[in-house]
Structure 1
């Protein structure tokens, strides 16, 4: 009979040699496990001839898996940083341009989408008529120009060129009274200005001069 000293430093047994062979096959004991026979000294199982065959047939301990490499933080380049806001500005400019082309055509042919019936106030009716005529055409032309500027600013931003123009396009996009597409222009302009304010982006613009 034998006693086994477990990894928890506790003694187990007495157990038979067959029990120990089963433990070896199950991987619960190996050649370095300390054991002693009745009245004997503690020694590794590998020093017991009766367990040599069991230890030789025992499955090899699996090699420890390599530790996964720690993920490296992805660092975006300036060219990658300006892609998103630049494309957003182009979309805002294109939508504004399309909207005001349609509005301009409406004014030119003598009708508007915002035409309202008489308000009963002659002064207000004259103002509405004025805005739906030549003044409306002038306003549409102004917003067409601003839309083109926003879209062109987005294009230059993607190419990391004309830093001042990109700043101007971003500011125009986010100002409600100037942006031809204010619901989208506000987030686009804010995003663009945040990216343009980053030192590495400024340096990238300067390197393209």
Structure 2
């Protein structure tokens, strides 16, 4: 069963479903998001508001280009996510190699003699590989989460951190991919229409009282 209620921003009459009560509703005319917690309007009120609606309707050229903005962020978000998963995988691989290197060769006298290395040196190399692997895991996770937030227009600070972290040469070779992806993402975040989507998402929903 549906019910009608006006948008709190542009007063456009919206036909909402019952499941949208007490949930976030969206106005296709002006792009406002609000909590639809009213029981609805009577038929006479709906008719009156619809008569006024033509004068209050936002022109098409002034409506927010939500779909266009979402389409524009998909490519850098995908690139950031791929870079993040690549860094995460490299980090896991390096960490695993470091652990295996320590387990297999730390107490192997033949390896020490052949490579002219002490046990401390072997553990130092293994520790460096493990530390680099852990850094790759952390930075890769930050980038993957940042890419997810970018597609949802949430936590712009986290997205910026993911773009900056992606440009750091944490894992060998990853910085070659991370620099253009990070610059691309940061430039996109500076665009007013993209920043507006983050601000709108972060703002608390308006309640119709």
Match of 1:43 in 2: none
Q: CA deviation at 1:205?
A: 0.3
Q: CA deviation at 1:97?
A: 0.9
Per-residue CA deviations over 1:31-62 (Å, capped at 9, x if unaligned) read: xxxxxxxxxxxxxxxxxxxxxxxxxxxxxxxx
Match of 1:57 in 2: none
**1:128 to 1:148, Cα distance in 2 relative to 1, 3 A:** farther
Which segment is superposed worse, 199-208 or 176-185?
Answer: 176-185
The TM-score, its normalising length taken from structure 1, stands at 0.53
Any stretches of 5+ residues in structure 1 without a counterpart?
1-74, 112-116
Match of 1:143 in 2: 136
1:153–1:169 Cα contact (<8 Å) kept = yes
In our comparison, the structure showing a higher alpha carbon Rg is 1
The TM-score, its normalising length taken from structure 2, stands at 0.53
Match of 1:92 in 2: 83
Q: Aligned pair count? A: 127
Instruction: State the secondary structure of the residue aligned to 1:161.
Output: coil
Match of 1:106 in 2: 97
Instruction: State the secondary structure of the residue aligned to 2:101.
Output: coil
Q: Which has the higher contact order (CA 8 A, sep 6+)?
A: 2
C-alpha distance in 1 between matches for 2:172 and 2:201: 28
Match of 2:145 in 1: 152
Residue 194, structure 1, aligned to residue 194, structure 2: no
Q: CA deviation at 1:137?
A: 1.1
Any stretches of 5+ residues in structure 2 without a counterpart?
1-64, 103-113, 203-209
C-alpha distance in 1 between matches for 2:70 and 2:119: 51
Per-residue CA deviations over 1:99-149 (Å, capped at 9, x if unaligned) read: 1211111111116xxxxx95x8x8xx8996454222321221122111110
Residue 174, structure 1, aligned to residue 167, structure 2: yes
